[in-house]
Structure 1
Amino acid sequence: MLNVEDIREHRLALYDGWEVKIDSSIKPPGQSEYHWCPVEITSPAEVASDESFLAITYVVNLLTSKYRMNVNPSCGLHVHVGQGADFLELGALRRVAGLLWVADPLLGCLHPPSKRFCYYSQSLRERTRLARGITAADFETHMIPDETCGRYIGREVRHGEESVHWREMNIDKKTVIDFQVNRLSGHFKPFVRKGDEKIDEDGTTSQDTEARSEGESSEESLPAVILADDDISQAIEGYYARHTTETGDNNAADSSATHSLDTVYRRCVDRNTARIPLPSYTAEDEARLRVVAAYGCDTMPPLEPKAQTDPGVFFGIGEIFACRSSCVLCWVLRCSDRWSDRPNYNFAAYDCLRLTEPKSNPRTIEFREAAGTTSGKWAETWARICVGLVDWAEHAPVDEYLAVLSRCDEAAKGGKHDVVDLLDQIGLFAEAIIVEKWLQSDGARH
């Protein structure tokens, strides 16, 4: 039986170096006198550091200087972001999914329009189950009562609890049942397996914690970090209350709950170009772009139907934060029941089967919408953006997180906020400058 470190090493063993391999999904350009070789180039799994990002530029530039290379619409640049060999816990996953849901239309401006109409990079905001109004409740009605993915491994990690990885290593029936009892209504304390004794920072043990007075306020005994997601949910409810008031309902909105949504955005990076409006496409545009997206993809299935109307930023955020396990979140952000479906931000690593397989890999969120490129600098920049989005979403203060949601909501309604502003607002200043120049040179169209 593998121990903990052996399993972690096994998960990363396939990603310990640069690798070149044949990829039959890539098709050569037509009418060419050359004999092309369709290849996929993968990097090792690396810690997010300047050295790791610079290596991307170096390798791409090295390849383009030594070989004749071509990228066409069947080529893509995929970036995987994760937490080493381990799963992200549910709280972090919700925050990342929420940010990608609201920012999807803005981030799409960085990529060729055809990518949003490709089966292998379908829009999170337009083609997923959530985009079509299917919610977490629709999944949970079909969940098997003793399903360990949704009832145990994929549940939130409370302050003071062991990690998701610990749950994978401790999946005996008694531990799972004890955990489920701990998650019943009215239970707020962290789960500690009976027989284990944890020493808290104040010197008390888990047994001392269990002996506390039942009359003690549950919220008072919880650190603020646990309540962070609840703060987001309350602010979203406040947003709906305010919106109802503005449209004529007499029910007053809770101004304290909506305050954080009204944070004034002050730009840090000077703009040299006008803001970029979100693109809109006619039926003829979509038909043309689908032909481009299907270039070389002989067996590409039809896209799932597009959502008739945009469900909006806060509908999606509300449902994402209502997901009670990682596999439920993965399910609502899938495009269809086909195993091979691919949204542009892919959470497939968190589905039921992979959550219950300790050796499963990669344990990442996959960014799929970017086009293939021979520009080492752009490949590096996009990788930095992907990592920056995940890192910011996971660690941003609640007020700042909500302010970004609000600005993206304004952009979806025709406001002036664009992708350069988004990168500036989340602290990716260098990337914002590069992206502005990239868009100015029409880089996203190539």
Structure 2
Amino acid sequence: MGSRNNTPRALSFGVELELYVAWITPDVEADSLDVPPGFNTSKGAPLRVPSGRFDDLLWALNARIRETLQGFPSAAVASADLNGRVDFVHDDEWSHLQTYREWTVKGDPSLSTPDELDSGIDSGWDGLEVCSPALWATEQGFAEVRRVCELLHDTIWTTNIGNYTGLHIHVGYGHSWFPMHSARRIAALLYAADPLLAASHDPDRLLNSFCPSIRMYSNVSLGVRIADLEMRPHSELEISDVSLAGSSRPRTELAQRIRDGFARSQQAVSSSSTRPYRGGLPPRPSTKTYTPLPEALENILPSAARNYGVYPDRYDFRPAPMQEAVAELLQTDNRWALGKLTTVSSGRSAYSFHHFLRDGGKRTIEFRQAAGTVDPAEVVSRARIAVRLCEFASNGSVQSDRYRKLLTDCMIAEDMPSWFDFYDLLLELDMRPEAEVIHAVKENNMTDAVRQRYWAAPRR
């Protein structure tokens, strides 16, 4: 991640931008169209396409993206490493990147055009998804995302409507799987930070069935433990690092040591009244607002009972104590089990490890809770945040003071919101520029001045 990256190898990432694009055919004069609300001062225009066929829209936008990136050095994982010398179809180590070697535009069946977006024969709006290649998480990679988002944001009429569209960010380890010692620490941090991260997103996204909370509704939150899983043979998954690195202690003893360490840290932190100054960012919340929703539990709890013999109380449901669940994640020794513990039975969670459940396809961790946007500063900020969370967890051992303190702060904040919030989390990760961008988004105050300050911010 540029100069922030302390690992021998940069992480990788990709973005999926869901949006609606305005289009017109050659026979339509752009200035004859009724300007939709919010586009009166837009610098862009509808995308001109050969006809009203959806395939023509995909082709036209693909062509514009290729033109925008012409001469711009690619940060794609595949091209940066191999320059096309590998048979991507047949090479087991690289075949999963076959369709993620360049920017693509495709349809998305979940993006039916809402009534408020008029469409006709010669002009209209259609929903689609713009997907990046797998990019190295370097300054060059983030600059490539910025360049495409500026095309979409500044030159084409696009919109993101309410709960219809999302921004999905994938974080990976190049073409490989994350090592297990990194993957389980990432899972534990995302699980603990989930209520804080949720506060950075549009409230509508917290009710969205496409990105339910990992803290509220995942199997490990319902009380499922490693012992409850029907484990497939390790040989089916080509698992490495099967045992917990550096430890031969029984699982129960390790879990108890983790719980005891958290309890001591919590007691020490809770007794301190000093909080760091964070001028320019909003006051910390005083009340807890992130709680399980009864309607979300209707399908999830029966599934836990049916699949794992776990029977949470549906009338007085409380997620498992955070330190219990975090300890379980930190002692998980293969990726299938990690995927199962973090899975939500109703679908992919806000921070999803569902790719860990199979060998084929992507090898990434997917961040799904952000609302759809093509604002360059917001997209790059959210991509950097996702990468930094994974990088921080990968670099810190379970025993490291900084990693354990961050987990402890997240746990204390669950019951004492005034102690630590999303902005504190970003400051702890050395991400003040990103905190200021997300603050502007939440305050509905994203301006060119905010964007320029963000692009000019020094990177450590």
Q: TM-score, normalised by structure 1?
A: 0.67
Correspondence 1:322-341 to 2 at 5 A: 322-336=331-345, 341=347
Deviation (angstroms), 1:381: 0.5
**Superposition CA RMSD, Å:** 3.6
Deviation (angstroms), 1:330: 0.7
Q: TM-score, normalised by structure 2?
A: 0.65
Correspondence 1:27-46 to 2 at 5 A: 27-34=112-119, 35-46=124-135
- Structure 1 consecutive aligned stretches of length 4 or more whose deviation exceeds 6 Å: 1-5, 230-233, 257-266
Distance (whole Å) between structure 1 residues aligned to residue 113 and residue 274 of structure 2: 46
Distance (whole Å) between structure 2 residues aligned to residue 45 and residue 69 of structure 1: 24
Deviation (angstroms), 1:88: 0.6
Give the counterpart letter for 1:391 in structure 2: E
Preserved contact between residue 166 and residue 369 of structure 2 (Cα < 8 Å)? yes
Give the unaligned 5+ runs of structure 1. Answer: 160-182, 188-229, 243-254, 291-300, 355-359
Q: Deviations over 1:362-397 (max 9, x none)?
A: 110000111101311101100000000000011035
Distance (whole Å) between structure 2 residues aligned to residue 442 and residue 309 of structure 1: 36
Preserved contact between residue 277 and residue 418 of structure 1 (Cα < 8 Å)? no
- Structure 1's 260 and 399: CA in aligned 2 closer, same or farther, altered over 3 A? farther
Distance (whole Å) between structure 2 residues aligned to residue 410 and residue 186 of structure 1: 28
Correspondence 1:318-357 to 2 at 5 A: 318-336=327-345, 341-351=347-357, 353-354=358-359
- Structure 1's 186 and 135: CA in aligned 2 closer, same or farther, altered over 3 A? closer
Q: Deviations over 1:18-47 (max 9, x none)?
A: 111111111222143233222110011111
**What's 1:117 paired with?**
207
- Structure 1's 263 and 345: CA in aligned 2 closer, same or farther, altered over 3 A? farther
Distance (whole Å) between structure 1 residues aligned to residue 204 and residue 279 of structure 2: 30
Match of 2:300 among 304, 320, 327: 304
**What's 1:297 paired with?**
none
Give the counterpart letter for 1:410 in structure 2: I
**What's 1:434 paired with?**
437
Match of 2:257 among 234, 257, 268: 234
- Structure 1's 76 and 286: CA in aligned 2 closer, same or farther, altered over 3 A? farther
- Structure 1's 55 and 126: CA in aligned 2 closer, same or farther, altered over 3 A? same
Identical aligned residues as a percent:
25
Greater helix share, 1 or 2?
1
Preserved contact between residue 86 and residue 363 of structure 1 (Cα < 8 Å)? yes
Preserved contact between residue 261 and residue 403 of structure 1 (Cα < 8 Å)? no
**What's 1:89 paired with?**
179
- Structure 1's 275 and 96: CA in aligned 2 closer, same or farther, altered over 3 A? same
- Structure 1's 436 and 265: CA in aligned 2 closer, same or farther, altered over 3 A? farther
Preserved contact between residue 201 and residue 370 of structure 2 (Cα < 8 Å)? yes
Deviation (angstroms), 1:427: 2.2
Which structure ranks higher in relative contact order (CA pairs < 8 Å, sequence separation ≥ 6)?
1
- Structure 1's 84 and 281: CA in aligned 2 closer, same or farther, altered over 3 A? closer
Give the counterpart letter for 2:131 in structure 1: T
Correspondence 1:381-392 to 2 at 5 A: 381-392=381-392
**What's 1:69 paired with?**
158
Distance (whole Å) between structure 2 residues aligned to residue 391 and residue 432 of structure 1: 17
Distance (whole Å) between structure 2 residues aligned to residue 428 and residue 232 of structure 1: 31
Deviation (angstroms), 1:150: 6.8
- Structure 1's 344 and 154: CA in aligned 2 closer, same or farther, altered over 3 A? farther
Distance (whole Å) between structure 1 residues aligned to residue 249 and residue 192 of structure 2: 32
Distance (whole Å) between structure 2 residues aligned to residue 286 and residue 277 of structure 1: 24
Q: Deviations over 1:260-315 (max 9, x none)?
A: 998998647534421135652699x987xx9xxxxxxxxxx976358811323201
Give the counterpart letter for 2:351 in structure 1: Y
3-state SS in 1 of match to 2:106: strand
- Structure 1's 40 and 122: CA in aligned 2 closer, same or farther, altered over 3 A? same
Correspondence 1:43-442 to 2 at 5 A: 43-72=132-161, 73-139=163-229, 142-144=230-232, 146-149=233-236, 152-153=239-240, 155-156=242-243, 158=245, 234-240=257-263, 267=276, 269-277=278-286, 280=289, 304-305=300-301, 308-336=317-345, 341-351=347-357, 353-354=358-359, 360-396=360-396, 398-416=400-418, 417-441=420-444
Preserved contact between residue 339 and residue 356 of structure 2 (Cα < 8 Å)? yes
Deviation (angstroms), 1:11: 2.6
